[in-house]
Chains A and B, each alone.
Chain A
Amino acid sequence: MGKALVIGGGPNGLAAAITLAAKGRSVTLLEGKCTLGGRCAVLDDTATVQPWAVEALGLDLEWVDAAPLVHATSTGNHTIDHDEPAMAAWLCEVATFTPLIRELSASAPPNIRLGAAWTQLLGSALPMAKLGRAKGFELARIGPLCAEDWLDESGIDRSTQAALIAPALLGTWMGPRSPTSALAVLFHHALSGQEIEGGMEGLLNALVRRANGAGVDIRTEARVVRIIVEEGRAVGVTLDDGAELRADVVLSTIGLKNTMFSLVGHRALPFGLDMAVENIRSRGVVAQWRATAASPLFGGAERVVVVDDTTALERAFDDAKHRRLPSRPAMLIRQRGETLNALVFGAAHDLDGGWSDEARISLQKTILDTLGERADASLISNAELITPVDLESTYGLEGGHLFHGEFALDQFLSFRPHPMLSGYKSGIDGLWLGGAGMHPAGGFTLGQGILAAGQV
């Protein structure tokens, strides 16, 4: 077994490195920054991490039940009650699709290009067939729906609906009234389950421990500036200090455009592939906001969702759509002790006029005002806003998009991120893709790196 290079020290990079090392390869992991973890510093929600992934990696960690979700509205705060009849019925409906969705997320998607064998296509249809005719038709009906329309059918009030929909929209460029947003909501909830003890930090520590244990050579502050392609084959990388590393396999877990355009370069790409990569949509609609609270807000709740109702959520999306500052952003807050980490929905990456100081100050104020209606904002200090543009520059998230590519029907399953790049192949021999932009989509699953490494 030969040498493998993994680009990117985020969760998928670590997972890919562990998987490759377990297969007997000598693995070097290259991270440009001085710390590992990548997006882990932004996302603090481990509920969609898939148990199969944790098991496949052999991670040493504990699962805990997710903390209750507090729904903060301008008319009052309350805990989301999963036993409320309409909610329970809806969760029940979601549960009927959970096995299928989890199964789809635990394996590489079928190749739908012409070269693919019929048997493979039929094989991939099997999990669908298991659903049965009625459920299959139901999925075909729900998929294209707007989230709001779907949840309206269940009788859940539109305020609670917003709390259920908001987390699923972070990975999309949709509002609750966009068709196919129902599918995003279905996937998000079907993939959600228990959380990892210690949250994202706990997961990251376990990944690093396991990587070290597996003999992965982890190098931080080792920024890759070029993937060396010789005669159509990736044979190694060049680092920013000029050093060249050679390997049999290069697996990139960083952004797709960055990998294909900056590291490989247009000229080495097969014809047509550049268009495919160019057209991958990753329009960020989320900013991160961090602060310290002198004493716990929302009664010390760990998980808080700040949104009034689906109309407010839709308006937050409208703000992003029209590239203006959100006037009433929806927020998903994680409160750990005195620190608050919020994902702010409705902040466009391509804000009109750019993310100037005025824009940042204005959004900071809006966030505080929004919180102030629901909690004692005077307790908050050290607030820090990380705009989608900052997310891009700090974590390499293209377009500031948290998942390297929007969840959309045409960027989904075999189509994720594009059929030409499906199956974790880059179109260049020896170069594999295992970042968040790959299958599976729908949440932070930890699956991409493992599945990509599995295909190598």
Chain B
Amino acid sequence: MDVAQYVTPMRTTPFHPRTSQLCTSFAWKEWAGYAAVCHYTPHSEAEVFAIRSTAGLLDVTPLYKYDVRGPDAGEFLSRIWTRDISAIGVGRVVYSAMCDENGWMLDDGTVARLGPDHYRCTSSEPWLGWFIRHSRGFDVEFEETTEKLCGLSLQGPRARAILKGITEFDMDRMRFFRVRKTVVCGVPAWVSRTGYTGDLGYEIFCDNEHALALYDGIMAAGAPHGLIPMGLDALDVARIEAGFVLQGIDYVCAHQCIIDELKSTPDDAGLGWTVDLDRAPFIGQAAIQAERKRGSTWDLVGLEIDWEALEGLYQESGVPPHLAPEACRASVPVYDEEGNQVGQATSTTWSPTTKRYLALAQVRRPHHLIGTELRIEHTPKFERQTLPVTVVQRPFFDPERKRSTPGGAKLDSAATAAPVEAPS
């Protein structure tokens, strides 16, 4: 009997012919039904360093992507997302949260305005059904482009330099959170100055058919700059350094929570800043308004774990301090000084960039205030111990290069005024 008959192969992205060659570690995991690389070489450290010192190239094809078109597209998306999407100009990208009717977080993602009546959303979960369900009465059309468009995320201080030589558009003029349709390595592509690393970076999307040309072109152009492929583990460390939350880890989509206690509001998840509250009705508005009046119970904070105490703990146990090279996604209890549990750290990592041991945690207010001293559980051997932690500013790492644009402010108006879909 043919054993292969029992197997349903995992999906692969159009970059798979290249990534599978490069992934010598065989470390793959499932991402939205696709096989995605965790780390290319046996350790992800080099990839984290690339993000902060040269550049790394990540296959982000599995992101859910939706193109929304129509005269009411902006108004419709404003109803779905917590940001007032109708207020953003053509060529801009915003990061936003999405809630259900009760103000519970569903997802976070980006919305790019590609044209007057054309937007593209990215998200971590599929939302087409949700969009359709809430689109009655709006003149709007949806196209899921998840499987049509492939994407690469080029992140790191040399990202601009790499793209400059191979992109028709002058990358010196592209500002933070802007998007352009241009040609990269001879391939028509959308380039946005966005990413999930908190560093200078770009995301490039093109039709699947051009995937390999794009990949090869970028890798070739990047070679002199030290570009290496990177996997999800490195991304995870970088996003924690940048203080970004991850759906499913730092908060959970309300649709997947059986009980309310597991759900989070934008304020609970530290995404209150993405809520434009006083405007036309949007999903969750009334509930968020009510919560603002009451005050939210939780906040998402950055924690720094006291390194010396950690060393002390290991010393006592007689083992050298050892921290995993990748981020930890297990939820770890956080206590106040009296030993009451006041929250949980949801993402923890050693930050090679800042040389600090960091965590993102949901804690009850008022323990969220900067400078609050708390304790976090840590298990060096088998016994549970606690370590002192301090609530610190997020992001933990925020380089100037993330936002700065060599062309300066005067380019801004020109960049936004020009039509994004430039005639080719």
Residues of chain A whose beta carbon lies under 8 Å from any beta carbon of chain B = 261, 265-267, 271-272, 274-275, 278
* Inter-chain contacts of B136 with A (CB < 8 A): 261, 266, 274, 278
* Inter-chain contacts of B134 with A (CB < 8 A): 271
B101 touches A267 (CB 8 A): no
Name the residue of chain A whose CB is nearest to the CB of B135.
A266
* Inter-chain contacts of A266 with B (CB < 8 A): 136-138
B101 touches A271 (CB 8 A): yes
| B133 adjacent to chain A (CB < 8 Å) | yes
What does DSSP make chain A's interface, helix, strand, loop or mixed? helix
B133 touches A267 (CB 8 A): no
* Inter-chain contacts of A275 with B (CB < 8 A): 133
* Inter-chain contacts of B101 with A (CB < 8 A): 271-272
| B283 adjacent to chain A (CB < 8 Å) | yes
In the complex, 13 of the A-B residue pairs with CB atoms within 8 angstroms, ordered by the A residue number, are A261-B136, A261-B137, A265-B137, A266-B138, A271-B101, A271-B134, A271-B281, A271-B283, A272-B101, A274-B136, A274-B137, A275-B133, A278-B136
Q: What's the least CB distance linking A226 to chain B, in Å?
A: 13
* Inter-chain contacts of A272 with B (CB < 8 A): 101
Name the residue of chain A whose CB is nearest to the CB of B285.
A271
* Inter-chain contacts of A261 with B (CB < 8 A): 136-137
How far, in whole Å, are A14 and B283 apart by their CA atoms in the complex?
A: 38
- Known A-B contacts: A261-B136, A266-B138. Give 15 more (CB < 8 A): A261-B137, A265-B137, A266-B136, A266-B137, A267-B137, A267-B138, A271-B101, A271-B134, A271-B281, A271-B283, A272-B101, A274-B136, A274-B137, A275-B133, A278-B136
How far, in whole Å, are A317 and B399 apart by their CA atoms in the complex?
A: 72
Interface residues of B in 60-103 (CB under 8 A from A): 101
* Inter-chain contacts of B283 with A (CB < 8 A): 271
What does DSSP make chain B's interface, helix, strand, loop or mixed? loop
* Inter-chain contacts of B133 with A (CB < 8 A): 275
Mask, B114-140, CB within 8 Å of A = 1, is 000000000000000000011011100
How far, in whole Å, are A275 and B283 apart by their CA atoms in the complex?
A: 14
Q: What's the least CB distance linking A102 to chain B, in Å?
A: 39
* Inter-chain contacts of A267 with B (CB < 8 A): 137-138
Name the residue of chain A whose CB is nearest to the CB of B136.
A266
How far, in whole Å, are A349 and B78 apart by their CA atoms in the complex?
A: 38
* Inter-chain contacts of B138 with A (CB < 8 A): 266-267
Mask, B124-168, CB within 8 Å of A = 1, is 000000000110111000000000000000000000000000000
* Inter-chain contacts of B281 with A (CB < 8 A): 271
How far, in whole Å, are A275 and B137 apart by their CA atoms in the complex?
A: 12
How far, in whole Å, are A266 and B138 apart by their CA atoms in the complex?
A: 8
How far, in whole Å, are A196 and B283 apart by their CA atoms in the complex?
A: 50
Name the residue of chain B whose CB is nearest to the CB of A272.
B101
Name the residue of chain A whose CB is nearest to the CB of B137.
A266
Name the residue of chain A whose CB is nearest to the CB of B281.
A271
How far, in whole Å, are A265 and B281 apart by their CA atoms in the complex?
A: 14
How far, in whole Å, are A215 and B281 apart by their CA atoms in the complex?
A: 40
How far, in whole Å, are A346 and B329 apart by their CA atoms in the complex?
A: 61
Q: What's the least CB distance linking A24 to chain B, in Å?
A: 34
How far, in whole Å, are A265 and B72 apart by their CA atoms in the complex?
A: 14
How far, in whole Å, are A265 and B137 apart by their CA atoms in the complex?
A: 7
How far, in whole Å, are A221 and B225 apart by their CA atoms in the complex?
A: 77
How far, in whole Å, are A274 and B134 apart by their CA atoms in the complex?
A: 9
How far, in whole Å, are A430 and B282 apart by their CA atoms in the complex?
A: 22
Q: What's the least CB distance linking A27 to chain B, in Å?
A: 30
* Inter-chain contacts of A265 with B (CB < 8 A): 137
How far, in whole Å, are A282 and B137 apart by their CA atoms in the complex?
A: 21
Name the residue of chain B whose CB is nearest to the CB of A274.
B136
5 A-B pairs closest in CB distance = A266-B137, A266-B136, A271-B101, A267-B137, A274-B136
How far, in whole Å, are A274 and B283 apart by their CA atoms in the complex?
A: 13
How far, in whole Å, are A267 and B138 apart by their CA atoms in the complex?
A: 8
Name the residue of chain B whose CB is nearest to the CB of A277.
B136
Q: What's the least CB distance linking B397 to chain A, in Å?
A: 39
Interface residues of B in 349-398 (CB under 8 A from A): none
Name the residue of chain A whose CB is nearest to the CB of B134.
A271
Q: What's the least CB distance linking B151 to chain A, in Å?
A: 32
Q: What's the least CB distance linking A207 to chain B, in Å?
A: 35
Counting chain B CB atoms within 10 Å of each CB, the highest count among A266, A271, A272, A278 belongs to A271
Q: What's the least CB distance linking B285 to chain A, in Å?
A: 9
How far, in whole Å, are A393 and B17 apart by their CA atoms in the complex?
A: 59
How far, in whole Å, are A266 and B134 apart by their CA atoms in the complex?
A: 9
Name the residue of chain A whose CB is nearest to the CB of B283.
A271
Name the residue of chain B whose CB is nearest to the CB of A275.
B133
Name the residue of chain A whose CB is nearest to the CB of B101.
A271
Q: What's the least CB distance linking B358 to chain A, in Å?
A: 38
How far, in whole Å, are A267 and B137 apart by their CA atoms in the complex?
A: 6
Counting chain A CB atoms within 10 Å of each CB, the highest count among B101, B133, B137, B138 belongs to B137
How far, in whole Å, are A266 and B281 apart by their CA atoms in the complex?
A: 12
How far, in whole Å, are A261 and B133 apart by their CA atoms in the complex?
A: 14
Name the residue of chain A whose CB is nearest to the CB of B280.
A267
